[in-house]
Amino acid sequence: MIQKDSNVSALQRVENELKKCVKCGACRAHCPAFAAWQREPAVARGKVAVAQHILKGDVGLDDQTYAIMSKCLLCGSCVEKCPNDVPTDEIVVTAREVLARRRGLTTFHKAVGQVIKNRRLMSFGALAAAILGPLFFRKVPQTSGLRLRFPLPFVGNRRHIPQIARKPFMDRHPEVIQGEPGKPRVVFYVGCMTNFVYTEVGEAALALFRHLGCTVIIPKGQGCCGLPGMSGGDLDTVRGLAEQNLAALEKYEADYVMTACATCGGALHKFYPALIGKRHPELATRIRAIADKTVDAAQLLQQLGLHPEETGVGERLKITYHDPCHLRTRNITRQPRELLKGSPGVELAEMEGADKCCGLGGTFNVYHYDASLKINEGKSAAIEKTGADAVVTGCPGCMMQLSDGLKQRGNRTRVMHTLEVLARALGK
Amino acid sequence: MIDSRIIQELKLIVGTDNVATDRQDLLCYGYDATQMEFLPDAVVHPGSPEEIAAILKLANAERFPVFPRGAGSGFTGGALPKGGGIVLVVTRLNRILRIDTENLVAEVEPGVVTEQFQQEVEKLGLFYPPDPASLKFSTLGGNVAENAGGPRCVKYGVTRDFVMGLEVVLPTGEIIRTGGETYKGVVGYDLTRLLCGSEGTLGIITKIIFKLLPLPEAKKTMLTIFDSIDGAAKAVSTIIGNKIIPTTLEFMDHATLQCVEKRFNLGIPAEGRAVLLIEVDGDRDLIEKQAARIQDLIRPLGLVECKIARDAAESEALWKVRRLVSPSLRDVNPDKFNEDIVVPRSKVPDVIRAIDRIRQKYDIPIVNFGHAGDGNIHVNVMVDKSVAGQEEKAHQAIGEIFQAALDLNGTMSGEHGVGLAKQPYIHLELKPAQVAAMQAVKKALDPNDILNPGKMFPRED
Ligand SMILES: Cc1cc2nc3c(=O)[nH]c(=O)nc-3n(C[C@H](O)[C@H](O)[C@H](O)COP(=O)(O)OP(=O)(O)OC[C@H]3O[C@@H](n4cnc5c(N)ncnc54)[C@H](O)[C@@H]3O)c2cc1C
Ligand code: SF4
Ligand code: SF4
């Protein structure tokens, strides 16, 4: 019998959740990690079983346990489809927390923690080196001078990576962009990918909400949402970031807190309450208040009555839409599609398995690049089959993964954000 | 029992990556959809029938037990390694080898997931009807081994009715073929049918030849609500008596409806005491006529409401009522014992009444739903195991429920099999001579009791 580890106590938090699993196996149909490995420990049910046995004290926090818990994209598919509402994603994060306490964070996740905690470091591009670098090192055009010079040991060299913006999105805009009186005040939570890489997504958001007359506020103090840290079990870092973000987002009176990144939205809306709120009751009320105000950009645009046809120029575009996990799990699947379909000239061709994970999974893709590509293969093939000019989605993280997957196949389908398609005709 | 030398030999047969002995791996192959758990000594993932044959030969030489496993979604513990040994997972054999559109047959490997197979044949305008509720994750091999059934059985029959031939590795390691791909064939004993439903005790299935049908042009779904279970049961016999065989006749009793309604608020009228979900399929014009005819036939039987879906989305909405049953049950009590008795169609109300008496006697919630068309009822005895005495009570009630089904000329399992879970009751249904005949077959094929030992029949020791 393995000596029960005192570090496992955090798992007791989810003890009741663990009991709900009846081992029916339904998650086998929905877990992308299982699809990649085809072995029971990789499926939600297996991870739940391993967690149960860690608590029982007959499984240790060893390399094998670590490997099993690393095989999860935190996509939430199992949670959505589980007949017994077992929150496997929460269980896995908690297990990773326990493993990190016992074994220390990995070098990579330590670096991630350092970087995401430090806004200045991030804007200096260390973000690119430490997080984005490993995620998509290589293939920035040699000539751009942006080729990253931080080859970390665990990084493959096959990845295609987008360019890092010359000037971060937030540095380009004042904190408050005044709209028309009487129109909603929208606080924009930007997120790292939009700020540093896909700045065009931020610009599109701004254009659209200004078009509707909203006052858009981009609080300067906001930082990373912390999900890369969460993904490594580094919940202390996530807590610090959550506090920092709460302070920034609470500073202005707002009708909505808007995100254009599914992952950031998932953090504010779901993971902060579920993980940080439960661990730090002193923050729970504030977290709840922000969570209740958090809306995805597409959801809010529809709610505020954006009519793309009024603004569109009608340039023809055949698109297909990919559901980011962190929108799908919040039931935001209908709104982006309706908006896109309503846009002049836009034809939406549904792909097979639009609701399936693209394989990014936060830092999953760093440790399990091959599995991540394997998961992505089906996605790319489905996109190809639609013959669309562009694949559109609501998450910059997915955009990066979709680009990588498509480029690996030599496919030139464009990858766009929902907001970019909607803003296309505003002349911005 | 299994030492490092044997592990080494296993690795030589299937490759190092395909043998697992880490504790975590062992416990991930020690469960299934029952709540039981037994740890194997090793987990092996063979990649071909020849490898499986070699493993079984080794098992006979070294005398260690082998437990075949598909997706591990079984409800009776059939794939669980009670007593230790190796779990042999067949899911690497997962190719659809061919779909013959001319002769309407298909050949598949056992690890193919049922729904995936259905989708592939449907793309070609063909149809594989067996549809266990676990079809999205269970394997075809597991379906054959358990002779799985589902809602469409009323019209189309169970898995066995679609199996024409098999490739099987016998417990001693010989690879044989049974049946074939002709619709007729009477040479020798019908080993195919013997193996269907043999729960992995007589051989490991490595290929399956299935019979296919043309895909029906359309289907129509109706949700009918009755003011009594007798009305619903009468409706079943009336419909079939009038020579309409629906694809599906699913029923839910009052307790089930209350559960679903309480949790999901679907707007089922208060006077509704039982629901029948009816689906007909076939030619577009024909099903319109059939739906209208069914409505006329059942109207006098205490029909409270009848909803007919106009399209696929509406049909899905009606099916939702049925699909929400399982998630709702938990609200009654945390632990459920799910039994799947069968009685002749017309005896459904009698057995429901008998179950109701048992419910009152033991004062525990029992919720019934299932396939009214073929008399297959899922009896869910809901208890809280953490309350002293409840589990005990559940077992007593289950014994009486089986007896009630048998008294009405029924059986104690329509689809889940015996495995470990129903062993204690098997003698209620099978007489000693029957058991002896079955055990003689087992002994002849598996002299050393290597393959899935201790399943189906209680062990003498
Ligand atoms: C939510 C849920 C719903 C279900 N609904 C239904 C239903 O509607 N109808 C129904 O009939 N069942 C149902 N089941 C039970 C179960 O899904 C079926 O028994 C299924 O056929 C088991 O398939 P499996 O691949 O999971 O097999 P496993 O559970 O892995 O194994 C089942 C048995 O088959 C043997 N076996 C597996 N593969 C092979 C092989 N290749 N060769 C020889 N033996 C083998 C095993 O040894 C074991 O005895 C349900 C289960 C769940 C969890
Ligand atoms: S996690 Fe949910 S779906 Fe998966 S086995 Fe457990 S109860 Fe079933
Ligand atoms: S969150 Fe996603 S990857 Fe993780 S266990 Fe659930 S389905 Fe699998």
Average of per-residue pLDDT values in chain B: 93
Cα(first)–Cα(last) distance of chain A, in Å? 65
pLDDT at A35 over 50: yes
Within an 8 Å CB–CB cutoff, is residue B380 touching chain A? no
Mean pLDDT score of chain A, rounded to an integer?
85
pLDDT per residue as tens digits for the range B250-260: 998 888 888 88
| pLDDT at residue A138 greater than cutoff 50 | no
Res A18: pLDDT: 95
Q: What is the mean pLDDT of residues A179-187?
A: 94
| pLDDT tier at A5, thresholds 50, 70, 90 | low
Q: Tell me: pLDDT of A137 over 50.
A: no
pLDDT confidence of residue A1? 47
The average pLDDT across B157-186 equals: 96
Residues B151 and B248 sit within 8 Å (Cβ to Cβ): yes
B195 burial via Cβ count (<10 Å: 0-12, 13-18, 19+): buried
CB-hemisphere CA count at 13 Å for A200?
A: 17
Which residues in B155-257 belong to E strands, given as ranges?
A: 163-169, 175-179, 204-211, 213-214, 218-226, 248-252
Question: Is residue A134 predicted with pLDDT exceeding 70?
Answer: no
Please report, as a single letter, which amino acid is at residue B282: G
Give pLDDT, residue A190: 94
Q: Among B109, B108, B156, which Cα is nearest to B132's?
A: B156
Q: Is B259 on the interface with A (CB under 8 A)?
A: no
Ligand 1 atom closest to Cα of B150? 8
Instruction: Answer yes or no: are the C-beta atoms of A133 and A112 closer than 8 Å.
Output: no
pLDDT at B334 > cutoff 50? yes
ipTM: 0.93
Residues A129-139, mean pLDDT to the nearest whole number: 46
pLDDT of res. A4? 60
Q: How far apart are the first and last CA of chain B?
A: 18
Give the Cα separation of B130 and B247 in Å (integer). Answer: 11
**Residue A333 to residue A383: CA distance in whole angstroms:** 17
Q: Quick one: average pLDDT of A332-343?
A: 93
Say which range, A216-230, B138-152, B169-183, has the weakest mean pLDDT: A216-230
What percent of chain A lies above the pLDDT cut of 90?
61
CB A221 within 8 A of CB A184: no
Q: Give Cβ neighbours of residue A167 (< 8 Å, ≥ 6 apart).
A: A199
| Atom 7, ligand 1: residue with shortest CA distance | B132
Which of 22-61 (A) contact B at CB < 8 A? 22-29, 38-41, 45-46, 49-50, 53, 58-59
Count chain A–chain B contacts defined by CB atoms under 8 A.
71
Residue type, B209: I
Query: Which residues of chain B are within 8 Å of residue A40 when distances are taken between CB atoms?
Result: 25, 28-29, 72
What pLDDT does residue A308 have? Answer: 76
Q: Which residues pair with A176 in a beta bridge?
A: A217
Chain B residues touching residue A83 (CB < 8 angstroms)? 326-327
**C-alpha–C-alpha distance, residues B269 and A47, integer Å:** 42
Beta bridge partners of B167: B177, B207
pLDDT in tens, B200-251: 999 999 999 999 999 999 999 999 999 988 899 899 989 999 999 999 999 9
- Predicted local distance difference test score (pLDDT) of residue A163: 67
Chain A environment of B326 (Cβ under 8 Å): 83
Q: Is the CB of residue A73 below 6 angstroms from any atom belonging to ligand 3?
A: yes
What amino acid occupies position A46? G
Question: Which ranges of A227-320 does DSSP label H, i.e. alpha helix?
Answer: 227-231, 235-250, 262-266, 278-279, 281-293, 297-303, 308-311
Name, in order, each residue with C-beta under 8 angstroms of A427's C-beta and a sequence gap of 6 or more: none
Helix (H, G, I), strand (E, B) or coil at B223: strand
Query: What strand order describes the sheet that includes B335-342?
Result: B303-308, B218-226, B274-282, B248-252, B366-371, B376-383, B335-342
Q: Which ligand is nearest to the CA of A78?
A: 3
pLDDT tens sequence across A48-87: 999 999 999 999 999 999 999 999 999 999 999 998 899 9
Would you state the pLDDT for residue B460? 63
Does the beta carbon of A368 lie inside 6 Å of ligand 2?
A: no
Question: Residues with Cβ < 8 Å from A231, sequence gap 6 or more?
Answer: A74, A93, A96, A361, A362, A363, A364
List all residues of chain B from 278 to 297 with a beta carbon under 8 Å from chain A: none
Q: Is the pLDDT of residue A141 over 90?
A: no
For residue A132, name the pLDDT band (cuts at 50, 70, 90): low
- B213 in Cβ contact with B104 (< 8 Å): yes
Higher pLDDT, A129 or B45: B45
Lowest mean pLDDT among A61-70, A297-306, B319-328: B319-328
Distance of CA A341 to the CA centre of its chain: 24
CA–centroid distance, residue B50 to ligand 1 (Å): 23
Contact call for residues A81 and A72 (beta carbons, < 8 A): no
Comparing alpha-carbon positions, the chain B residue that sits nearest to A42 is: B28
**CB-nearest partner of A38 from B73, B91, B330:** B91
Distance CA(A288)–CA(A297), nearest Å, equals 19
Residue to substitute from B14, B19, B22, B24, interface A, most A β-carbons within 10 A: B24
Q: Which residues contact A80 (CB under 8 A, 6 or more apart)?
A: A30, A328, A329
Q: What single string gives the DSSP state of each residue in A200-237?
A: HHHHHHHHHHHHTT-EEE--TT----SHHHHHTT-HHH
State the average pLDDT over residues A221-226.
90
Model confidence at A47, pLDDT cuts 50, 70, 90, reads very high
Per-residue pLDDT at A143 exceeds 50: no
Residue A168: per-residue pLDDT: 86
- Would you call A84 an interface residue with chain B, using a CB distance cutoff of 8 Å? yes
pLDDT digits (tens, 9 = 90+) for A191-215: 988 988 899 999 999 999 999 999 9
User: Which of the pair, B341 or A408, is modelled with greater confidence?
Assistant: B341
Q: Which of A230-234, A238-242, B166-170 has the highest mean pLDDT?
A: B166-170
Q: Is the pLDDT of residue A248 over 70?
A: yes
Which ranges of B208-253 does DSSP label H, i.e. alpha helix? Answer: 229-241
The whole-number average pLDDT for the span B135-155 is 95
Output the residue whose Cα is nearest ligand 2's atom 2: A82
Name the residue of chain A whose CA is nearest to B325's CA: A83
**Ligand 3 in contact with A70 (CB < 6 A)?**
no
Q: Which pLDDT belongs to residue A139?
A: 38
**Distance from A206 to chain B by nearest Cα, in Å?**
37
Which residue from A minimizes the CA distance to B92? A38
Pairwise CA distance, residues A89 & A95, whole Å: 10
CA of A147: how far to CAs of A143, A197, A198, A403, B453, in Å?
8, 14, 17, 18, 62
Q: What is the largest CA-CA distance in chain B?
A: 72
Ligand nearest to the CA of A372: 3
pLDDT of residue A159: 54
More confident residue, A308 or A276: A276
Dihedral over alpha carbons B329, B331, B335, B336 (to 10 degrees): -20
Measured in Å, residue B194 CA sits from the centre of ligand 2 at 32
Give Cβ neighbours of residue B149 (< 8 Å, ≥ 6 apart): B130, B132, B158, B159, B371, B374, B376, B414, B415
- Write the CA distances from A263 to A269, A288, A324, integer angstroms: 10, 17, 8
Mean pLDDT computed over B389-409: 94
- Return the pLDDT at A410: 87
CB-CB contact of B31 with B72 (8 Å): yes
The reply to whether B25 touches chain A by the CB within 8 Å rule is yes
Q: Which of A19, A29, A53 sits opposite B136 (nearest CB)?
A: A29
Of A19, A46, A85, the CB nearest to B28: A46
